[in-house]
Structure 1
Amino acid sequence: MTSGKVLVVDLARQTCGCRHFQVERIPCRHVIACCANQRLDWQLYVHDVYKMTEVRKVYRFEFTPLGDPETWPAYEGPTMVANPALRRTSKGRPKLTRYLNEMDSRDMRGPRICRLCGAQVHSRSRCPQHARPSGAGDDDGS
């Protein structure tokens, strides 16, 4: 390997030192490199479960439709309640994951002061003097 690691590949036992070949049952890059070096077909080492002949066996049986849900018998088993903490949220801003410290506290930075009017209640973006409706109060009406 270019990284200096030595990995042992045994094609007869279908093992590799990286262990991906044993776990996934698909040739890893080390097995493919060995097959290329020995001029062997690496596809022979792919497990049968990944081959199209096995995938087609799944669909050879007829699927029966479930029918109208109104005709199903009433469910008598336990009621499962989902944990909302495990729910993935896809919309909105991501939640803050870092730990806050004293620099994040508003009290340490002082009160918010508007740069337009100098008030401590709001910021410049929320200032009542910032956004005036067009034509309000400045026009004499003539």
Structure 2
Amino acid sequence: MTTNLVECINFVLKGARNLPVTAIVRSTFYRLNELFTRKSAEAHECVRNGFMYSEFATKRVEESFRRAGNIVVNQFDRRNEMFEVRKMQDGSVYTVNLAQRHYDCGHFQVEQLPCHHVLACCANQHLDWKVYVHDVYKMSEICNVYRGEFVLMGDPSTWDRYEGAKVIANWTLRRATKGRPKSTRYLNEMDSRDMHGPHRCTVCEREGHSRSRCPQCVGPSSAGGH
């Protein structure tokens, strides 16, 4: 339920990214086991305390309730499905379709939670706003997420012999440990320096070195020694 899940994963695996592959898998396995055990206990504790929705959903709905007071609601059908809402602060107008769960502000489409426009319509027509909360925010669904249990790994010597496919490393794709990595970027007209080819010495006109490193160029120390 976050907007940047990759950064969360990187934070969890921050201390294990430089380890060998088997060590990373083992670390991830035990960390996930600890996470599922802790989150499952927290979810069941919330259910026992009478919480129906997650903390995120509860805070968003409470915030929307505080903003729903200054909204004028106009009903456009008898089935309590189409409404027009108008903000008193700036006079902006939005359309609310409860049947299709489509709101012009777009908050419901993103978060699957009733925004302050929908809460104003529900309060105006005495409707139950909980109907428009997605099941993913219910504590019962959250408990089901962490219901699974991990199987103990045990000692590797007791595992069954693996008879599947074998993965063979391609040594041609191995990155060089020394020197500057070879660039694989596609060049364009701005890369004029790289497109001109290798450097050519202005003294001997050979490639691979410059004038300052030319073996034919006599330096001041050599001149002083003769």
TM-score by length of 2: 0.29
- Relative CO higher for 1 or 2, CA cutoff 8 Å, sep ≥ 6? 2
> What TM-score, normalized to structure 1?
0.45
- More strand as a share of residues: 2
Relative to its length, the structure with more helix (as a share) is: 2
